[in-house]
Amino acid sequence: MRTGSGPVHQAAAHTQALPASPAGPGGFGSGPRHAGPGTGLVGSAPGHSAPTAGGATAQSVFAASAASQTAYGNPPPGGGQTAGGAAAASAAGSKRTDRKRQTEYEPLGPVRGTIRAFGELCITAGMVLILFVVWQLWWTDIAANKDNEVLADQLITEWRDNPDNELPDDPDTPYVAEPVDENSGFGIMYVPRFGDDYYRTVAEGVSLEPVLNRMGVGRYPSSAMPGEVGNFAIAGHRVTYGKPLNQIHQLRPGDDIVVQTADGYYTYTFRNFEIVLPDATEVLSAVPMLPDYKGKDRIMTLTACNPMFSARERYVAYAELTDWTPAGDGAPESIADSPAYDKVGGEA
């Protein structure tokens, strides 16, 4: 290859000289065989002596064939050489396909074939598991947050279109929210402790689909409505699906939990928490843990799984209604300036 490179350049120089010659482009299509007359023309050009012309002919023919074998990687500008180069390239190409066919017909016995198929299945199963984890930990959050935004927008628009802003007769007595159909949203919950921009929609029912997985937190249908005497109990995911109650353990006594409905804003104040077993339904009763009592307080109970990523126990947070603002009076101070309230569009 290296020894051939000298003559190759020479040949290129010779054939490149051809377009300038009076023979014209017609002599080109006929291929490298016509290098003879070509060199004759070059030989007749001034500055070339006859004896060297013969030598040049032999040399250039050899060089052209050498070039056609080596130079197919980068096509040379000369026409004659291109034809030779193309031929060489096609020869090399057929060589390549020969090699490929050989690898394609690789013999694989039944044992090796089975082992390979099993290995490929294992790898596929691993990929699917990884995809599941990605979906569960990452995608469900994205999907649920989007659903949450859409639903909050819907609620705000609905409330704006049907304003129900007359003050109740007694402003100190909270207006009890109207019950809604199962699987439909009726409120938006703000918890400043969970972040300035935290808000989640509140829907009716505690089914995983669609309420808890798509609609934020869900109200236990057997419990009270916001503002009602009794226990307004909601459930929410602590991990995945938008993780509405991810930071439930960060609540400190005195923290506000504001629930906005069509009628106004219910401010519940966090009091205490406990960790119970999953079947401890007494936490949902009007007086939590004392199911036989009727109660006179307006309690809110939030339930989420505990510890995170486990269903062994439930984390239960209790709050009590401490403030109520009719919708016409605007949002309470605790959330009025928060980015969450701005984002929801509640200022209108």
Partner 1 sequence: MYGLLWRALPGPWIVKLLICLVLIAAAVYVLMEYVFPVIAPHMPFNDATIEEGG
Three-class SS state of 32: helix
Asked whether position 111 contacts partner 1 by CB under 8 A, the answer is: no
Report the residue number, 41 or 245, with the smaller CB distance to partner 1.
Answer: 245
Beta bridge mates, 319 = 270, 300
Asked whether position 158 contacts partner 1 by CB under 8 A, the answer is: no
Stretch that binds partner 1, among 38-46, 89-97, 202-210, 325-333 (CB under 8 A): 202-210
Binder among 50, 111, 311, 348 for partner 1 (CB under 8 A): 311
Asked whether position 132 contacts partner 1 by CB under 8 A, the answer is: yes
Stretch that binds partner 1, among 67-75, 180-188, 266-274, 278-286 (CB under 8 A): 278-286
CA gap 269, 254 in Å, rounded: 5
Stretch that binds partner 1, among 1-9, 79-87, 128-136, 150-158 (CB under 8 A): 128-136
Stretch that binds partner 1, among 74-82, 159-167, 192-200, 301-309 (CB under 8 A): 301-309
Asked whether position 171 contacts partner 1 by CB under 8 A, the answer is: no
Footprint (CB under 8 A) of partner 1, residues 322-341: none
Stretch that binds partner 1, among 69-77, 90-98, 178-186, 308-316 (CB under 8 A): 308-316
Residue recorded with tokens 């307004």:
232
CA gap 95, 74 in Å, rounded: 18
Phi-psi region of 203 (alpha: psi -120 to 50; beta: other; left: phi over 0): beta
Binder among 85, 236, 264, 332 for partner 1 (CB under 8 A): 236
Q: What phi, psi does 325 have (nearest 5°)?
A: -130, 120
Asked whether position 104 contacts partner 1 by CB under 8 A, the answer is: yes
Sign of CA dihedral 80, 83, 86, 88: negative
The residues near 241 (Cβ < 8 Å, ≥ 6 apart) are 140, 141, 143, 144, 212, 213, 214
Binder among 9, 33, 48, 116 for partner 1 (CB under 8 A): 116
Report the residue number, 92 or 142, with the smaller CB distance to partner 1.
Answer: 142
Which tokens go with 219?
A: 């109200």
Count of beta carbons in the 10 Å neighbourhood of residue 78: 25
Asked whether position 136 contacts partner 1 by CB under 8 A, the answer is: yes
Min CB(108)–partner 1 separation in Å: 8
Three-class SS state of 217: strand
Asked whether position 316 contacts partner 1 by CB under 8 A, the answer is: yes
Binder among 26, 110, 162, 309 for partner 1 (CB under 8 A): 309
Three-class SS state of 272: strand
The residues near 219 (Cβ < 8 Å, ≥ 6 apart) are 186, 202, 203, 204, 205, 206, 225, 232, 233, 234
Provide the binding-site residues for partner 1, judged by CB under 8 A: 104, 116-117, 120-121, 128, 131-132, 135-136, 139-140, 206, 208-209, 212-213, 220, 235-241, 245, 276, 278-281, 283-284, 303-305, 308-311, 314, 316
